[in-house]
Every structure is written in C-alpha cells, then in structure tokens.
Amino acid sequence: MEVSYKWLKEFIELPESPEEVGKLLTGTGLEVEAIDKIGPSGEPTQANGLEGVVIGEVLSCTKHPDADKLSLTTVDVGTGQPLPIVCGAPNVAAGQKVVVALVGATLHPTSGEPFQIKKAKIRGAVSEGMICAEDEIGLGTSHAGIIVLDPNTPAAQLPNGTPADQYFDVSPDYRISIGLTPNRIDAASHLGVARDLRAVLSRPLRWNSPDAFSVQNHDLTLDVRVDDTVACPRYTGLTISGLTVRESPDWLKQRLLSIGLNPINNIVDITNFVCHDLGQPLHAFDADKIAGGQVIVKTLPEGTPFVTLDGVERKLTATDLMICDAGKPMCIAGVFGGQFSGVTAQTTRIFLESAYFSPMSVRKTAQHHGLKTDASFRFERGTDPNMPVTALKRAALLIQEVAGSLNDQGTQHPGVISSDITDLYPAPVAPFRVPVRYRNVDRLIGIKIEYAEIHRILEALDIQVEGQTNDGFVAVVPPYRVDVTREADVIEEILRIYGLDNVPLSTNLSADSLSEFPKIDPDQWQSRVGQLMAANGFHEILTLSLTRPAYHDAIRASLPGTDVTLLNPLSEELSVMRQTLLFSSLETLVYNLNRRQKDLKLFEFGKVYHKTVTDSGTTKYVERMRLSVALTGNQQAESWLQKSQPVSFHDLSTAVQRILNLFRIRSFETQPADPNLFQYGLTYVVNKKPMVSLGLIKGKLTKLVDLKQPVFYADFDWSALIKAAGSKVRYQEVSRFPDVRRDLSLVLDKEITFEQISRLAYQTERKLLRSINTFDVFDGEQLGIGKKSYSVSFVLQDPAQTLTDATIDKTMQRLMSTFEKELGAVIRK
C-alpha cells in the first residue's frame, strides 16, 4: 500500500522527516518497505522542485518569418529586460501568464531524460528560454500546448519572476510503501496510518467530520431498497446535480499520482481520493441511466450476464450481490462497476453510493470472477461500518467544489446536492467488548506498564476503557478494528504502540525458559551435504578403511604421519589403515569403468588414520573425517540437444564452491595444490588452515590402479569445514546505482598468479571495486620469454551515487600504476 508524506501531513503535524516517519510506522507494525522521493507526476525523482522555472507574462507574440508553426515572443520574467523566446505551441498569445524555463535550468519531463535549457538560435531568431507545456516540467502528460495560468486565481497575481514551485506547490513529496498485513485493513488509508502516528506521537488528528454539508433541494430523490441485508448491512447514498465532467484540478491529480493512481475525471477521481483518504470505497452512477428512479441491492439468478467496466461479459452466480435499477444490474457490489451505468463526459447528475458490504460476500464474488480492485481489497477484509455517511458527505462536498457546471463565460457554479442522504442501517454493528486483566498485560508483555499509559494508548487508538477495577477493565473496540477481538489482541495493541524496543531484554532468564543453543551437529551437516551432492548428480560411495601399503609409498611425502598397520592382516594388499580417501575413490572409479560406466560423479564421507610419535616418545593415534569428491568422463550423456563435453577443473570447482556456500564460507585464500598428488590444482585456505585441495590427479597415481581416464578430485578436511560453519549471514540492500566494467590487458611474468593480481587490486581500491575476473590468458612467443598476458575485467560501483567518468578514470589509473609498480606489469592498450 502506498501513502503520501504530504497527504499524511494533512491529518497530523509531522515535523519528522519521511525516514523518521518510516521508522515510527515500522515500529507500530506497519512495515515500511520503501520510501521514494517523487515529483509532481508521481514518478521517482532526484530533482528538487522546479529550479530555474518562473512565472512570466507574454508581452508580444508574432509569427516567425521563416517558420509557419513558430512564434516570436517577448516574455517578462521580472528581470527588467524582456526575454526573446521562440515558441512552437499553437496556443501562445500576448497577455498570457505562462511558465518559463530560464537559460541554465534543467527540466525533468514526465517521460524521457532530463535536459538543460540553453541560449539558442532557431531559424535565425535568438531564443533565451522556453515557454513550457505541462509534460516538459513533469506536471502531467499533456503536450497539446503551453501552460496558461488562470488569471482569476490569486496565485496568478504573483509578480513576474516568481518561482513556479510557489504557484504549483510542487515541493518534493515522498511515497511511503507499506507492506500491509491482511489483519490491518484499518490502516489502508491515510486516516488509518495517521491514527497509528497519533497514538505513538501523542498528537491530535487535524481531521474532523465534514460539518459544512447541506442539502440544496430534493429535485432528484431516488427510491433505494436493500433486499439482502446480510450481504449489505448498511447502504447510504445521495444525488448531486448540475455537474460537468472534466479534468480534475491539479491538487487532486497530484494527490492521486503521489500514490501511483492515474487520474480519470473529476468525479471518479474524488471517489478514489476519498477511498485512499478515509478508507471508504465509493461508487458514482450516472443518475440519468438509472431506470425507474430505483436503486435496489439484491442478488440475481444464476448465469445472469453482466458487462463490467473493462468490457468483459461475466456470468453472475446466485450469491453475487448486485446494485440494480428497476430493470437491470448496474454494478457488482463492492467489486466492480458496470459498463453502461458509470460516469461519462455527458454526465450531469449522479447517484453517489457509500456502503458497508459483508466481507464474506465480497471476497466470494471477487475470487469467483478474478477481480481485484481497490474497493474489493478493502471490503473483503472489513471496512468501518460507521464511515459510510462521513465519507459520503466528504465526497459530496468535494464533487460540488471540483465538478460544478460551467456557464458560457466559463464561470463555475457549485454542484447541487439534490436529495437527502439515504441511510439504510437496520442492525448497527456493535463494538467489540473485550475484558482485559492487568496481570495478563504484564505477563504477556514481560514488564509492568503504568495503568495510565495503557489507557492513553488504547484511547489514542479509539479503544475506550470502561468498567475499570484494580484487576482490569473492559476494552470497547470500534468495529473497524476487525483484528482486535480477544484479550491478547488488545495487549498486542498496547505493546506495538508502547514500542517493542522499549521492553528491556531480560537478564534473569532461567534454564527452563530458554534452552541452550544446540551445538553444531556434524551428522546434520553430513546429511545436508549429501542431499546437495545428490541433487547435483553425484553418487555417494562407502569404501573400506583398509588399503595397500604401495599406495601410501607412492605419496609418502604428502602423508601426515606413519601408517597404522594391522597386527593380523587378511592379506598383504589390505594390511594398513588408509591415510587418504584418494585411492578408495580411484578403485571405485575403476570398478565402474570396467563395467562400461564411463561418466562418473562420486563423493564419500570417510575416516582416515595415521600415527605420530610425540616429543615424549609415546605413540599417538589420529583419526579424522574427510570428504572426497571425484569426477571423470563427460559432463553429461550425449544427446541431440548438445554434444558431450569432458569434465574439467571448473566442474569440480563448481561442486566445491557449492559445498563452501552451504557452509557460508565466502572468503578464502588460494595456493597451489600439493604437486605430489595433483598435476595442477589449488588449495583453499581458511583462517590460515587448508580447507580443501582440488585439481587433476597426476597420471602416475591413476596408473597405480590401472585407471586410464583423467580424474578430477577434491579432498575436504571435514572437521575444519564444520568448525567454519555457521557464520552469520549479512544482508545488504541492492544498489540503485549502476555498476561499470573496465577491462585491462596485463603482460606479466609467468610466475605471477591471478590471486596476486586480485589481492593487490582489492588492497588498492577498497571502496569502489566490486569484483575482478580474468576472461582470457595468453602465452605466446611474441610476449617475450617467461611472459604471459592476463585479460582482466574490473567491476566498479558506488553504493551512494552514479559513478562519473572522472572517478572511473582516476580509479583505473591508480590500479594500473599499482600493477606496474608492484608486479612489473606492462599495460597493453
């Protein structure tokens, strides 16, 4: 739901900034999701008003000698020297009060990019400014002609040169987006939001029921009847005559645009305005289209056809509540109007409806027909049954003001209220009476709040306190608070206004009130990793802990200790406990390859064993859990859709990265993997301890098990992985400002790694550098002996503003200088 900051200030004094108001509303349970600065057109903007745009007067206007559609004008803008301005608008004329953009002003049009006004020559004529249309300054969408100010308004009497924002009152507004929960339909209006602010700020509302309402005559009295009082407990209406349907005044259009609604015409716009102002939907019917002078609220037979405002014919159900005249349906009650009974440009008399419909009835009808409107959104959650007459009067007064008839001289006469208010309310909805005990307030909130403060909060929320005793009271809840029907609901109201932040954290919690946080469970993590790997096409294996001594002899220099030898081995081949999962994985691969299963993706959780001799000469046996991942063959089976591709280091790296992401391990350093095991590869180091080594297994090791396919293998230290798990997740708002990519080609010594380039780049530029990536590596004789070329991309972004070319160039120059100085790089253009 959207509310306007300026609109809110009509209900309550708000010296607080929009951001402060947002925090207050979020604290009361109306979570503010976004606050956008908006211009007069309702679109988000960074501009402040209409700088450089003033009120001017056209002193002279003649045709351009060299252009039929251009006029040469002189305009007084209050500087003492009239400005020559070339104007292409067909409606420009001498004597008009107009809106003028001076040279140097930057305009923010309704659509398109901002542009600056410059002194120019147009067909040989000097032009020192621009006479503006409404779309050119963001005040609307019309480009039919320039804005001509009404000379009869007091604002038009302002002296020439007056800033235009004083005339239009277009100081920036702020659109506050509230994530309205279904239970808080009472806050689906500016009045509803202001009620919460009144309670939390202890300030009075400025709004009162309209008391200037009066009936001028009874020339258009209709017969109103409600046949289904269950679906329509209350129905009110009146008639207004002497109207002219036209475009709404600027103030009304801007109010609707500020919350994202498009203006339609003055009468429909008033009904939309009051809906978002007071939370009460209304509907206006063309009174001359109401047959028989009757308005009947009833249901119709199953299957009755009805054409709605969108031109779609719908088949009614027997439970759809309809607003009908003597012969036909006119509107689906509380949901959508009909095509043939609404207000048009020819309408001069209306019947204005304001009702309270059953939430169940409206919800059932809206869901059946798939219609979601502002009216149905409110009715199906429960509107205020005491609001219809108040909203009806407010809308009637506004329609009288903005939609009165015009005579031949263009003078407006107010509309005429031509009937008494019809108010059919046979069974008034009673308020909820909820007994509340003070001890339950203290128990549920956790602290003791003074009784006077409890009563103040409730009364500020329109909840009356009656029958007070030492033990409690009765809360009399108005029927518009459909979510407050139990004692716990009343206590929640007290707490959300008192402020959850004002409830201190307890320092006296006992073991039976707060359990200890569970320790990290390795078995649960093992299950999660297993599910992750299986979901990505891997198969889990389980192998023996016994292995051949010859395997260990081949990699003796890389083993952490000496072998644990069995005292009574079953065979010489299985006489030691394994110190690595590598050969268990390789043997499994061979077993499957011999059975024509060539594309394999395996993982294993298993323990490894070794022994060491301590300084004191005692033997220490070590048992550790490891996780291994092995890939060989193709990425996927061959198909008509794509050719088979052999697995690569990047496929293994992706699998490893998925596991690290599961453990929320985001940062690590890299170093070359053990050359005794890997032909090439990397070791990821976290907190100065190796976490995982991955790469292509050396050919001499695969030959030991008679394996002829390349194998990519990763070996995790499971204990280190578990220890690093559970780091906090930090959330950051996505930047609204674009990032920028710049590429460099660096010629470097072969020994220099990308890791060194990356680390040096982040050390040099900590604020703007978001990511760095290498997209090409070239090694050729033309580079020189011992040289290679990295093609590297740098992504820059400032979270607070759009980067300028000067800032980008300065940052890249600093990076290039660092690479040249620290790495001896040659920058290739």
Give binding residues as ranges.
483, 489, 492-493
Q: Which residues pair with 122 in a beta bridge?
A: 125
Alpha carbon distance 518, 521 (integer Å): 8
Contact 150, 98 (CB under 8 A): no
Residues in the chain: 829
116 backbone φψ class: left, alpha, beta (φ>0; ψ -120 to 50)? beta
Helix/strand/coil for 452: helix
- Count of C-beta atoms within a 10 Å radius of residue 572: 10
* Contact yes or no for 464/474 (Cβ under 8 A): no
- In whole angstroms, give the CA distance from residue 336 to residue 333: 7
Dist CA 399 CA 278 (whole Å): 16
Q: What is the number of H-type helices and E-type strands within the chain?
A: 20, 42
Contacts for 86-92 with beta carbons within 8 Å, 24 or more apart?
86/122, 86/123, 86/125, 86/126, 86/127, 87/61, 87/130, 87/131, 87/146, 89/131, 89/133, 89/145, 89/146, 90/145, 91/144, 91/145, 91/146, 91/148, 92/58, 92/61, 92/131, 92/145, 92/146
Cα angle: 128, vertex 78, 101; to 5 degrees: 40
Q: Which residue ranges are tagged as binding site for Mg(2+)?
A: 483, 489, 492-493
The answer to whether 52 and 118 are in contact (CB under 8 A) is no
The DSSP string of 683-695 is EEEETTEEEEEEE
As a whole number of Å, the CA-based R_g of the chain is 38
| Residue 55 · residue 168 · CB < 8 Å | no
> Residue 627: what are its φ and ψ, rounded to 5°?
-125, 125
Q: What angle do CA 416, 338, 401 make, to 5 degrees?
A: 20
Task: Indicate the SS3 state at residue 420.
Answer: coil
C-alpha span between 675 and 683 (Å, rounded): 11
CA-angle at 445, arms to 442 and 447, nearest 5°: 55
Which spans in 675-747 are helix H? 699-704, 718-724
Residue 240, burial from CB neighbour count under 10 angstroms (0-12, 13-18, 19+): buried
